[in-house]
């Protein structure tokens, strides 16, 4: 299985969780293909429309083994006696959130706060998060924790009603920038 296949399998397993909570904890969700905005490429794994939070960006990783999540540039994955280094998924999620914010502002459909969240989809993932000044920049959870995370981060003082018109407007603005991957120059 390639990394792309593994990533797609992880995203599909998260989609199943999101389908189960659609209509209760979330109003809906969308995904994107590659987005190119000012020569910067990114992809939205999932954008959740969450009435008591706003928009939530899910950065999905399908890594197995033990992942050491820190605030630095690289995270370490340990599987069966070997180590891999990957970019910090919290920083990736923050970057995606920032790029989405710019696109929504340009399209004049920026009405909601955006929360970044890293979700590990693999059933055999164990996340070790650093604390204090070395802590990762975002929340990091397992896919089974998505409903609980939404409930715990919801505010009873907030209630966003996402209309089908708003949902379509967000999709339309995002689709304006959807394109094949362009090598950054």
Q: Look up the domain containing 69 and give its range.
A: 3-175
In a domain, 182, yes or no: no
Q: What is the pLDDT of residues 34-58, one digit of tens each?
A: 999 988 999 999 999 999 999 999 9
pTM for the full predicted model: 0.92
In a domain, 184, yes or no: no
Q: What is the pLDDT of residues 82-96, one digit of tens each?
A: 999 999 999 999 999
In a domain, 147, yes or no: yes
pLDDT band at 5 (very low <50, low <70, confident <90, very high): low
In a domain, 165, yes or no: yes
Q: Contact, 73 vs 86, CB < 8 A?
A: no
Provide the number of structural domains found in the chain. Answer: 1
pLDDT band at 1 (very low <50, low <70, confident <90, very high): low
Residue whose C-alpha is closest to residue 27's, from 10, 44, 52, 45: 52
Once rounded to an integer, what is the mean pLDDT over residues 61-83? 95
SS3 string, the chain, reads CCHHHHHHHHHHHHHHHHHHHECCCECEEECCCCEEECCEEECCCEEEEECCCEEEEEEEECCCEEEEECCCCEEEEEECCEEEEEECHHHHHHHHHHHHHHHHHHCCCCCCCEEEEEEECCCCEEEEECCHHHCCCCEEEEHHHHHHHHHHHCCCCCCCCCCHHHHHHHHHHHHCCECCCCCCC
In a domain, 181, yes or no: no
In a domain, 180, yes or no: no
In a domain, 185, yes or no: no
pLDDT of residue 3: 54
Residue whose C-alpha is closest to residue 124's, from 78, 69, 64: 64
In a domain, 166, yes or no: yes
């Amino acid at each position: 299985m390639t990394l792309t296949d593994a990533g797609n399998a992880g995203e599909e397993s998260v989609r199943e969780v999101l389908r189960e909570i659609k209509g209760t904890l979330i109003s809906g969700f969308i995904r994107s293909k590659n987005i190119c905005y000012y020569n910067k490429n990114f992809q939205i794994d999932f954008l959740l429309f969450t009435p008591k939070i706003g928009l939530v960006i899910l950065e999905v990783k399908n890594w197995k083994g033990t992942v050491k999540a820190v605030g630095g540039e690289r995270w370490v994955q340990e599987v069966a006696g070997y180590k891999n280094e990957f970019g910090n998924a919290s920083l990736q999620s923050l970057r995606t959130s920032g790029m989405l914010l710019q696109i929504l502002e340009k399209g004049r459909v920026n009405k909601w706060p955006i929360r970044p969240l890293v979700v590990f989809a693999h059933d055999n993932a164990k996340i070790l998060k650093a604390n204090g000044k070395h802590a990762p920049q975002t929340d990091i959870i397992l896919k089974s924790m998505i409903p609980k995370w939404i409930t715990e981060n919801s505010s009873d003082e907030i209630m966003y009603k996402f209309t089908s018109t708003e949902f379509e407007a967000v999709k339309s603005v995002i689709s304006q920038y959807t394109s094949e991957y362009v090598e950054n120059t």
